Amino acid sequence: MALLEVDQLRTVFPAVVGEFAAVDGVSFSLDQGEVLGLVGESGSGKSVTAFSLMRLVSPPGDIAGGSIRFDGQELLALDARAMRRIRGRQMSMIFQEPLSSLNPLHSIGRQVMEPLFLHTDLSRAEARKRALAMLDRVCIPDASRRFDDYPHQLSGGLRQRVMIAIALVCEPKLLIADEPTTALDVTIQAQILDLLRDLQRDTRMAMLMITHDLGVVAEVADRINVMYAGRIVETAPVATLFKAPAHPYSAGLMRSRPDLTQERKRLVTIPGTVPAPHQMPSGCRFAPRCAFANRDCQAAQPGLRHLAPAHFAACIYPLTQDA
Amino acid sequence: MMRRRFSRLFDRRLKIALGATIVIGVVLMAILAPLIAPYDPYKQDLMYRLQPPVWSDLGDWKHVLGTDNYGRDLLSRLMYGSRLSIMVGVSSALLSAVLGTVLGMLAGYKGGRFEQVIMRFADAHLAFPEILLAILIIAAIGGSALNLILVLGISGWMVYARVMYNLTRSLRERPFIEAAQSHGASDAYIIGRHIFPQLVPVLTVVATLQVAQMILQETALSFLGLGLPPPTATWGNMLAEGRDRLWAAPWIANLSGLAIIIVVWGINMLGNGLREQLDPKSRERS
């Protein structure tokens, strides 16, 4: 059985007229030990999906429907107390901005101990020991000396390592990483991704890696979900998606990567922009920007269709039909 | 150039030192009043009515600051009066600090209905003249030290509520609060561990300045005859008594007024010094 099963998740925000579904019928599953990439451009609903999984969508946003089954429990049915016991213990999250996600008034050691104080009965000395071990594990040099340092005394890369240590100190089964490397420079990005991948292999935890950076998912993920305008348009193993994307949007994303092997005048872009919430097309949401769309595409929203093992795309004219 | 030297003269360290000296001095005087006051502040000595202070031609060292209409020693009365002023000022500032901080944090953190009810009530209360409200309540329930503390404490909560509400609201949006939630922290834990500690510096400054405000208010109420009834020695009462003999015995009103000014000035200086100390911009400059 999958560790996480999301079914028809719908998260809405009130709009001027009615409401706007930032996440609209998202379904996917994630196995233990698997790394799933969630890719999409800004505003596609990636982060809202992540916050919905933690049930931390900030008001006035609200989860309007669907189901999130995690480790055999229906998260949407839990009360606030039970949900708090899952956050940070079973399911953790790391954020984009490592500096602002750390409390400037507490030492980093204290912040790594916080989940232990919240979820376990460990004494201060034991918690300190475990926090120190965790800081060592995320490769913070000279961790025992750094333990009482404050966030502003650390570099960006080290701060993100501290964030990872906080998220993993209770050994969660699922780590949600929301653009964990976006705020870091490129060399540090690679180090952090390596670290995440190593920790994930060691602990066999599942990981949901949210990013707009295809390079990041290529390096870390086993499988990729591509999101567009609040829906998943394609899900495929990494190699398949890079070699033979089936949805025209995924294909567009792949084409708009800078390619160092060919000399091009300018980057390829996908024409147009994500439709505004109040003027969502009734049929396929990508149809207005799609080079292959015809009248059938405007008739109804296509569901995910099976193309090959583990490869699904929400398109009635998928680009590859080798299945 | 001149301007700069002058602002240097009153830099924050001097302000804090001077303010703290005055405040500590007055507090010591209040605590030690029974030991250091030369006379019983309520003992009348009609032979020595309206005796001027020692620096006047008619004054003598028996009553350094002179006597009032009943021959009571003014220095002793000022010393005893400081006890009440300080007790009422500090207690009511604390009471309103607790009320205002709790309500302000609640409104800022919870938002929604809490925010609407608490903050609109605070707005309405702010629009109502504090002293008028205090007069109404005191006139209804009578003047005693406890009533004064209650009235002043309750009438001052909005100042804290507004400041704490705004700070909490901006803190609430900071990612580390979201991060704490994602670690499984409860609202109470987040308010206690992550929000309140960030408010303490500002709270200290506001509370210090509010003590001065409360002392002034208490004096004003006493002056209007709504504080503690005579013959209790409070600075406001003494000021009111002195007003009637402003020509014959100006020192009564002058000296009690001066005492109020010195204390309020000292507290304000301490508060402003602390504010500058906590403001990183002014700290870097010197």
pLDDT tens-digit readout, B167-222: 999 988 888 998 999 988 999 999 999 999 888 888 988 888 888 888 888 888 88
Domain of B203, CATH number, reads 1.10.3720.10
Residue A92, chain B, CB below 8 Å: the answer is: yes
Establish if B117 belongs to a structural domain.
yes
Radius of gyration (C-alpha) of chain A in whole angstroms: 21
The pLDDT tens digits of the residues spanning B104-123 come to 999 999 888 888 888 998 88
How many structural domains compose chain B?
A: 1
Compare all CA atoms of chain B with the CA of A175 and give the residue at the minimum distance.
Answer: B182
Establish if B86 belongs to a structural domain.
yes
Predicted pLDDT of residue B276: 81
Establish if B176 belongs to a structural domain.
yes
Instruction: Give the CA angle between residues B82, B85, B88 to the nearest 5°.
Output: 140
Establish if B38 belongs to a structural domain.
no
Interatomic CA distance for residues B88 and B82, integer angstroms: 10
A 10 A CB-CB count for B244 gives 12
> Taken in order A72, A75, A77, A81, is the CA torsion positive or negative?
positive
As a whole-number percent, the residues of chain B with pLDDT over 90 amount to: 14
Q: For chain A, what is the mean pLDDT?
A: 86
Cα maximum dimension of chain A: 67
Q: Of the segments B47-56, B188-197, B276-285, which one has the largest average pLDDT value?
A: B188-197
Residue B189, chain A, CB below 8 Å: the answer is: yes
> Taken in order A75, A80, A86, A91, is the CA torsion positive or negative?
positive
Residue B111, chain A, CB below 8 Å: the answer is: yes
> Taken in order B61, B66, B69, B71, is the CA torsion positive or negative?
negative
Establish if B156 belongs to a structural domain.
yes
Looking at the predicted structure, is the pLDDT value of residue B5 above 70?
Answer: no
Predicted pLDDT of residue A217: 86
Interface touch A101/B175, C-beta < 8 Å: yes
Interface touch A59/B112, C-beta < 8 Å: yes
Establish if B211 belongs to a structural domain.
yes
Establish if B41 belongs to a structural domain.
no
Question: Looking at residues B11-24, what average pLDDT do you find?
Answer: 86
pLDDT band at A226 (very low <50, low <70, confident <90, very high): very high
> Taken in order A142, A145, A150, A153, is the CA torsion positive or negative?
negative
Establish if B232 belongs to a structural domain.
yes
Interatomic CA distance for residues A123 and A288, integer angstroms: 59
Compare all CA atoms of chain A with the CA of B186 and give the residue at the minimum distance.
Answer: A84
CA distance A112 to chain B (A): 10
Domain that holds residue B172: 65-285
Residues of A within 8 A of B112 (CB-CB) are: 59
**Which tops the pLDDT comparison, A182 or B5?**
A182
Residues of A within 8 A of B175 (CB-CB) are: 95, 97, 100-101
Looking at the predicted structure, is the pLDDT value of residue B1 above 60?
Answer: no
Interatomic CA distance for residues A88 and A71, integer angstroms: 15
Predicted pLDDT of residue A323: 41
Helix (H, G, I), strand (E, B) or coil at A297: helix
Predicted pLDDT of residue B173: 85
Predicted pLDDT of residue B285: 47
pLDDT band at B43 (very low <50, low <70, confident <90, very high): confident
Task: Answer whether 0.80 is exceeded by the pTM.
Answer: no
* Range with the poorest average pLDDT among A179-183, B38-42, B109-113, B176-180: B38-42
Predicted pLDDT of residue B8: 60
The pLDDT tens digits of the residues spanning A229-267 come to 888 989 999 888 888 888 888 888 888 777 777 666 677
pLDDT band at B4 (very low <50, low <70, confident <90, very high): low
The reply to whether omega before A60 is within 30° of 0 (cis) is yes
Predicted pLDDT of residue A320: 66
The pLDDT tens digits of the residues spanning A26-38 come to 999 999 989 999 9
